[in-house]
Structure 1
């Protein structure tokens, strides 16, 4: 299998891909994710951005982005990873899942690479994030697994400058690639789409078990801070039984203090005939998960101060009170201790963002990369 680091590429060029091998019939098998696409010359994988060109396997979006923005870290969503801090966010195009309900379908389903007008080298991204006072860089908007080579190079550049890195991902990655990829990540929000294989097959064009395997591996074999998000879709993955099964699995396999976010669906892409998720559904799912023993359960895409509030897992004291992405109260010390009972809140905390009274809030700032020499 070809897993060796590729030589440096010019920004915007086609970049040699890793994680593939030649099979007996002459096709190249991409081993990056569980889809295992098998390609003749000129063919692209299901993600669209990885292709075989002659005898080469290429990533066609290296150094190219659908846009750069500064977001609150809570928007990823991450509630226990340097709350209130700024994160430099970007994505590319394409996806290795085929979710009919995709909320970013204009990016993830794009087949027009010419729309990726923003270009930046890994060093330029890291330098721009630092210049804007960001604490971390997030690979988001579309799944960074499919642009792994670019994401890993950016992550290396970020770490060299003291920046943290965040993967917002569906976790659909092969065992052979995940060690390299997540070794470069400090945090991950993994989108657990639902909790039945039938849901994954019919609505995502994928399977559940590889995602569960990634989650268990991340939680027990790495130091990556992990939070989960499940988009609740009316009539498809929001039943009491499925939410209960999901919560019980998280408690048993990942631990009670792993944060779980239930997010509201809005009609989009190929499921625009459905109604949006009622706030009551999110509140009910949150109560089910809390009753199942999870300590930190949040609601998203709705106005719910209680569902946004971080409480001490031991005494229940409200430690971080949020109103959407605005932090109204921050009672943690830099070490993450509860001032009421002294218990340590699970997560990553330091003198940044809300901890120093300088929370970024609900702003979203589009950013242009200033290329060297321009």
Structure 2
């Protein structure tokens, strides 16, 4: 049997029967591209909505956050590498069906829970689980939040637009070179931001890494591009700390993050700093 192509993201993995894709979460199972991490939860917690980070979407509320394993990028600075870089056999999981997840979210409503956030690893490598849970959550009046790197094709994202209430999309840098180094595609991420912004609440996050994406020119260009979509898109600029394969790099200077935030404010109405 010929290989099957996964059409979810720009990697376009061509998989033999039983072969697992670059993301470690999708496989050719009996001639069908399947999310092998479907319902396999590695992390679950009730978080403040601001932790996603979403500062301008129902502030002061809580949201049930859930994650699995796998990611379609290879960021050497990943803060959740224990699960995002893990294979199915590498990490303990617990199966939680969409119905069970929604029931858990409903039980937490007295604690201020408004819904479900798909987060921690890259949730869209388990696209089908996000879709199924979002449909059931919407039926019960719960909100759906997606925290994603945005490096996914337009067609699957469009199918999620009616189900997702708010997005936080990582815009990791504003150069193709940076995205090539992490196994992604800048134009695909830009397309995702534009598409989501037309339909839902969107906030954007950039981790400021010394000598990687911290030039004034790059942040100014990024902010101007975001403002060309909507000047009220919130941008979160976060301070880098040594992590994963970047333990030899110093933390970002606090003054640098604040200075870049001021540059971004030349174009955007809402710019926030994090990890400072």
Counterpart mapping for 1:121-270 below 5 A: 121-133=97-109, 134-202=113-181, 204-220=182-198, 222=199, 224-252=200-228, 254-270=229-245
Partner residue, 1:300: 274
Structure 1 residue 236: Cα displacement: 0.4
Q: TM-score, normalised by structure 1?
A: 0.71
> Root-mean-square deviation (CA), in Å?
1.3
Whether 1:289 and 2:267 are equivalent positions in the alignment is no
Deviation at 1:114, TM superposition (A): 5.8
Alignment partners' CA distance in 2, 1:246 and 1:40: 39
4+ residue runs of structure 1 moved beyond 3 angstroms? none
Give distance in 2, aligned partners of 1:296 and 1:57.
Answer: 40
2:208 and 2:240 in contact (8 A); partners too = yes
In terms of fraction of residues, the more helix-rich structure is: 2
TM-score, with structure 2 as normaliser = 0.96
Q: Distance in 2 between matches of 1:159 and 1:53?
A: 29
Q: Pick one of 61, 82, 86 that aligns with 2:62.
A: 86
- Residue 182 of structure 1 deviates from its aligned partner by 2.9
Say which is worse superposed, 147-156 or 48-57, in terms of deviation.
48-57
**Distance in 1, Cα, partners of 2:43 & 2:154:** 30
8 A Cα contact 1:125 1:154, kept in partner? yes
Judged with a 3 Å threshold, the aligned counterparts in structure 2 of structure 1 residues 166 and 200 are, in CA distance, closer, same or farther, namely same
Q: Does 1:50 align with 2:26?
A: yes
Change in CA separation of 1:126 and 1:53 when aligned onto 2, cut-off 3 Å: closer
> Whole-Å Cα distance in 2 between the matches of residues 128 and 69 of structure 1?
11
- Assess if the C-alpha contact under 8 Å between 2:203 and 2:233 holds in 1: yes
Structure 2: which 5+ runs fail to align? none
Q: Once the two structures are superposed, what CA deviation does each residue of 1:103-129 show, in whole Å capped at 9, x if it has no partner?
A: 110110002446242221111111111
Count of matched residue pairs: 273
